[in-house]
Amino acid sequence: MEGAATAQALSRIGLAGLAVMGQNLALNIAEKGFPISVYNRTTSKVDETLDRAQREGQLPLTGQYNPRDFVLSIQRPRSVIILVKAGAPVDQTIAALAEHMEPGDTIIDGGNEWYENTERRIDEASSKGLLYLGMGVSGGEDGARNGPSLMPGGSHGAYMNIKDILEKVAAQVEDGPCVTYIGEGGSGNFVKMVHNGIEYGDMQLISEAYDVLKNAGGLSNSELADIFAEWNRGELESFLVEITADIFNVKDEKTGSGELVDKILDKTGMKGTGKWTVQQAAELSIAAPTIAASLDSRYMSGLKEEREDAARIFKKEGLKEEINFDVNGSSVDKKRLIDDVRQALYASKICSYAQGMNLLRAKSAEKGWNLNLGEMARIWKGGCIIRAVFLDRIKKAYQRNPGLANLMVDPEFAREMVQRQAAWRRVVGLAIQRGISVPGMSASLQYFDTYRRSRLPANLVQAQRDYFGAHTYERVDMPGAYHTEWSKLARKARV
């Protein structure tokens, strides 16, 4: 009798790893009507999750206290999501669970994992007859609880086993849930990694917009809060712009004076996905200068003590932190600056997304993943950190032309870049005159200026390479590879 009762009570899915993201995703799944079993090595986390399930609506969630009971409490074919720290902890969790799993069961890793680790685990799982998915999850703890963007890649069969759950749990937008089967192998992790690289670029560009408005425009935090809130009602409408408006409004409760943002140490943390994105761009020979600039800026922010020393040394030499090389010495027109910065931020963001999409396309071609770039933009429209209203337009650009060479040359985006470039140049120019670093906006502008020019000074670089290394060059007027005895001819020319 007891066996029959247990059989009836089997969960539809399991989740192991109950830090905040794991707890929230498990509660989200339960709330959508799917009975779920949860497990964590530290048993207090299981109790905590059970307690929340009761408090948040008596949700169909059961806790298990060892891997065997956990696995056996799930209906076949079993699907288990793991949300533990990337690297060795994932391998340890898989080993503990796989011992009790059977051929046809599925493991889904929802962490930010390096895609090659996922590909190794797919092979290892398949030797035991297990299916495997590496699933990017974006949206932070709020997204996990209320609807994230999900990027599952790996076994298509595994995806089909839990498609009904993922489609209910994901964020919902007008054209469907923010989840799709990404592709084979580690494609889900790779797409999430590039999403995070774009996120680095986005955050950097927003911080530069803030820096210019504050230090060149003299805007207060309350003015900045109003500006970002207004921007969030237009073409820049996005999660990051929305939370930025909120940040400027938060008072410092510890001291009771001023806003909290001014009390935060200017040293940025990072987990590694941005670095991986830039490394992959270099491996694939894809220019991603905006994303690279954002990574460099995080490294530079880490040199807080060195920067403080440098400020003192340069001040001693007569250089103030606030430089003004404005030839007219004119004061800034605030209203115009605000509008210029809005346009510069928008154009710079397009470059950041274009670089991310190009990276996805190059990797897809290398690995045969057959990624659908329009669909990637669609699943990022809700739930995730880079969700933005213009992702719908990115989706449409790739629907119009799946072979689009670069987002910037889609007719709609090209028109917008041209309309905004004068404002963009004014902002970067003003920042340079004032000594305000804008590496992201500058990198985006240089990316645009390099891409739109039909002839670059690379001809001189090729001449230099041929001069010192006989690397040969091609000509514009006739086919073939050529080599010139440059030093001999240069000597002759001097005589």
Q: How far apart are CA 304 and CA 298, in angstroms?
A: 11
- pLDDT tens figures, 196-219: 999 999 999 999 999 999 999 999
Query: Which residue ranges are tagged as binding site for substrate?
Result: 112, 138-140, 195-196, 200, 271, 298, 465, 471
Tell how far CA 390 is from the center of its chain: 16
Mean pLDDT across 264-278: 89
- Whole-number pLDDT of residue 325: 61
Query: Which residue ranges are tagged as binding site?
Result: 17-22, 40-42, 84-86, 112, 138-140, 195-196, 200, 271, 298, 465, 471
Q: How far apart are CA 7 and CA 423, in angstroms?
A: 66
- Whole-number pLDDT of residue 1: 33
- Asked if pLDDT for residue 272 goes beyond 90, the answer is no
- Whole-number pLDDT of residue 402: 92
Give the confidence band of 5 by pLDDT, cuts at 50, 70, 90: very low
- Asked if pLDDT for residue 277 goes beyond 90, the answer is yes
- 130 neighbors 103 (Cβ within 8 angstroms): yes
- Whole-number pLDDT of residue 76: 94
Mean pLDDT across 154-161: 95
How large a percentage of the chain has pLDDT more than 90? 89
**What does the DSSP assignment read for 396-446?**
HHHHH-TT-S-GGGSHHHHHHHHHHHHHHHHHHHHHHHHT---HHHHHHHH
Mean pLDDT across 235-249: 96
For 203, residues 6+ apart whose C-beta sits below 8 A from its C-beta are 240, 294
**C-alpha torsion 369→370→375→377, nearest 10:** 70
Mean pLDDT of the chain: 94
- Whole-number pLDDT of residue 19: 95
Q: By three-state DSSP, how is residue 364 classified?
A: helix
- 65 neighbors 3 (Cβ within 8 angstroms): no
- pLDDT tens figures, 28-68: 999 999 999 999 999 999 999 999 999 999 999 999 999 99
- Whole-number pLDDT of residue 328: 55
The encoded tokens of residue 289 equal 């200068």
Give the confidence band of 462 by pLDDT, cuts at 50, 70, 90: very high
- Whole-number pLDDT of residue 330: 61
Query: Which residue ranges are tagged as binding site for NADP(+)?
Result: 17-22, 40-42, 84-86, 112
- 63 neighbors 41 (Cβ within 8 angstroms): no
Give the count of beta carbons closer than 10 Å to the beta carbon of residue 160.
12
- Whole-number pLDDT of residue 7: 43
The number of residues in the chain equals 495
- Whole-number pLDDT of residue 350: 95
Distance (Å) of CA 494 to CA 483, 488, 489, 490? 20, 10, 9, 6
How large a percentage of the chain has pLDDT more than 70? 97
The encoded tokens of residue 249 equal 């409004």
Give the confidence band of 4 by pLDDT, cuts at 50, 70, 90: very low
Ordered domains of the chain (ranges, CATH): 13-181 (3.40.50.720), 193-452 (1.10.1040.10), 458-493 (1.20.5.320)
- pLDDT tens figures, 318-347: 987 777 665 555 678 999 999 999 999 999
- pLDDT tens figures, 71-116: 999 999 999 999 999 889 999 999 999 999 999 999 999 998 999 9
Distance (Å) of CA 46 to CA 10, 58, 66, 70, 299? 18, 15, 11, 11, 38
Give the confidence band of 3 by pLDDT, cuts at 50, 70, 90: very low
Q: Which residue has the higher pLDDT, 8 or 15?
A: 15
- 178 neighbors 384 (Cβ within 8 angstroms): yes
- pLDDT tens figures, 348-406: 999 999 999 999 999 999 999 999 999 999 999 998 989 999 999 999 999 999 999 99
Active site residues: 192, 199
